[in-house]
DNA sequence: CGAGCGCTTGATTGAGTTCAAAAATCGTGG
DNA sequence: CCACGATTTTTGAACTCAATCAAGCGCTCG
């Protein structure tokens, strides 16, 4: 499979200087099954491209239970979606399920292109990253939290919406019935 | 709030010709509460930027039950994440919860930038779109399908992984316990 | 003003969890 | 290459959270 650097060289569109810069932010390594590439709370959030092998990303909840977020086999990319935003720390563990060959793509990878004449796509990308990050959180919530916990989180995250949206829609967003939401709200006070 | 076009003009980086092109793919409209902008199965998948008001996106399952995927209030963008890939049809309904002012961004919006000198970000964006699209499907699965249905879907979607990944990890990915997965597998044959 | 929609409350049911223990499989060292 | 310990999968019983069914109340908006 073509690596990132090879793809860039082959395109013929990049100066040797840029290629050199790229080499600094993209590293190819071989890792053993069980290797943990990233832990919850880590602050350097690389992205990982699987050349061959198999990785998993997951959280561990308060009860110590593991929740798989994603698998990534050949050609797939895995990483915290927040990877490129500043000041964020990892929500996820990333670990090899099989011996694997991977590319480690530094969080600064994208920044190399920020300077180019057309910033639009960069903005577009950041916007999509933000949306995607919300989805990531949502999945983790759905998988690892009870109805009540999800509601509490919703209150914290979108306090304005609670005023504007009918409860039955909030229930639907949380993946529960309006009745259950009503019971939950009843138990709070 | 600054609209897309205003932002582009203000940046001063775009030719009048490009601005004209943009005007063709970005339209501002006012809609009434209850207006349905997109239905499941629609093939022209626009993206919607909320200037003011409130939109929801949702699916309706086989039993007629509505599942909210996202809310979008001021400054938020909503749309099928597949929006920019070819041949895809809408998984989601998009509808106004309040009277709203929105921008309708044509699926061809991004294509305007495909031609520019640095295709990298475009590739990056497409890659992220693909990943995000997977997350969207995952959320819909978690919210509207039983454990057994989710497992069947997993088998269809990732047949190779079933061979390579221990069942307890698949269970975790599906949001169920290994015991439940074992029971499900038992009932299949 | 009244019909319908949204929210609440309660009783019943059921899918999936938890706890526990046995059976099967994996993998590692001798 | 085999054997033993560890991990994974299966099976079963008891339990729990949330869904379903059903009925009543209170708005609001038409």
Domain ranges of chain A: 4-112, 145-188
Q: Which pLDDT value is given to residue A50?
A: 92
Q: Does an H or E element contain A43, and which?
A: none
The residue to which tokens 């003009």 are assigned: B9
Rounded mean pLDDT of B165-182? 92
Instruction: Report the share of chain A in percent with pLDDT over 70.
Output: 85
Nearest residue to A150 via CA among B136, B175, B91: B175
**B162 and chain A in contact, CB less than 8 A:** no
Q: How far is the CA of B178 from the C1' of C20 (A)?
A: 15
What tokens appear for A39 in the block?
A: 């832990």
Report the mean per-residue pLDDT for chain B.
81
Q: Which pLDDT value is given to residue A83?
A: 46
- Write out the CATH class of domain B4-112: mainly beta
From residue A70, give the alpha-carbon distance in Å to each of A140, B136, B171: 11, 13, 12
Q: How far is the CA of B13 from the C1' of C6 (A)?
A: 51
CB contact under 8 A, B73 and A122: no
Per-residue model confidence as pLDDT tens digits over B80-108: 876 455 667 888 889 898 889 999 988 77
- pLDDT of residue B109 exceeding 80, the answer is no
Q: Which pLDDT value is given to residue A189?
A: 45
- pLDDT of residue A119 exceeding 60, the answer is no
Nearest residue to A137 via CA among A81, A84, A184, A89: A81
Comparison of pLDDT for A82 and A184, the residue scoring more: A184
Question: What is the pTM for the complete model shown?
Answer: 0.80
Residues 30-89 of A with CB under 7 A from strand C: 63
Q: Which pLDDT value is given to residue B66?
A: 82
SS3 content of chain B, % helix, strand, coil (to 5): 45, 20, 30
Q: Which pLDDT value is given to residue B189?
A: 45
Choice among A113-122, A133-142, B147-156 with the minimum mean pLDDT: A113-122
Report the mean per-residue pLDDT for chain A.
81
Q: Which pLDDT value is given to residue A22?
A: 78
> Is A111 in contact with A68 (CB distance < 8 Å)?
no
Q: Which pLDDT value is given to residue B59?
A: 85
Nucleotide nearest to B33 (CA to C1'): D29
Comparison of pLDDT for A53 and B21, the residue scoring more: A53
CA pair distance B50, A189, nearest whole angstrom: 34
Give backbone dihedrals phi and psi of B145, rounded to 5 degrees, phi first: -130, 150
User: How many residues does the structure list for chain A?
Assistant: 189
Q: Is the dihedral of CA A181, A152, A58, A104 positive or negative?
A: positive
Tell me the pLDDT band of A60, cut-offs 50, 70 and 90. confident
- SS (HEC) of B93-142: EEEECCCEEEEEECCCCHHHHCCCCCHHHHHHHHHHHHHHHHHHHHHHHH
CA pair distance A69, A143, nearest whole angstrom: 9
Best mutation target among B66, B94, B115, B121 (most A Cβ atoms within 10 Å) is: B121
The residue to which tokens 């190399």 are assigned: A112
Q: How far is B189 from chain A (nearest CA, A)?
A: 26
Comparison of pLDDT for A129 and B151, the residue scoring more: B151
């Amino acid at each position: 499979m073509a690596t990132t650097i090879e793809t860039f060289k082959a395109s013929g569109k990049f100066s040797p200087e840029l290629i050199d810069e790229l080499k600094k932010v993209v590293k190819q390594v071989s890792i053993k099954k069980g290797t943990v590439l990233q832990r919850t709370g880590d602050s350097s959030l690389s992205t990982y491209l699987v050349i061959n092998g198999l990785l998993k990303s997951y959280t561990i909840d308060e009860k110590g239970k593991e929740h798989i977020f994603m698998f990534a086999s050949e050609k797939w990319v895995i990483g915290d979606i927040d990877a490129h935003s500043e000041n964020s720390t990892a929500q996820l563990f990333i670990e090899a399920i099989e011996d694997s060959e991977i590319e480690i793509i530094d969080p600064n990878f994208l920044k190399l292109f920020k300077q180019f004449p057309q910033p639009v796509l960069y903005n577009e990308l950041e916007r999509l990253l933000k949306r995607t990050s919300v989805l990531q959180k949502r999945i983790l919530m759905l998988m690892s939290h009870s109805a009540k916990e999800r509601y509490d989180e919703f209150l914290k995250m979108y306090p304005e919406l609670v005023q504007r949206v009918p409860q039955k829609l909030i229930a639907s967003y949380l993946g529960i019935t309006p009745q259950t939401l009503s019971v939950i709200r009843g138990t709070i006070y």
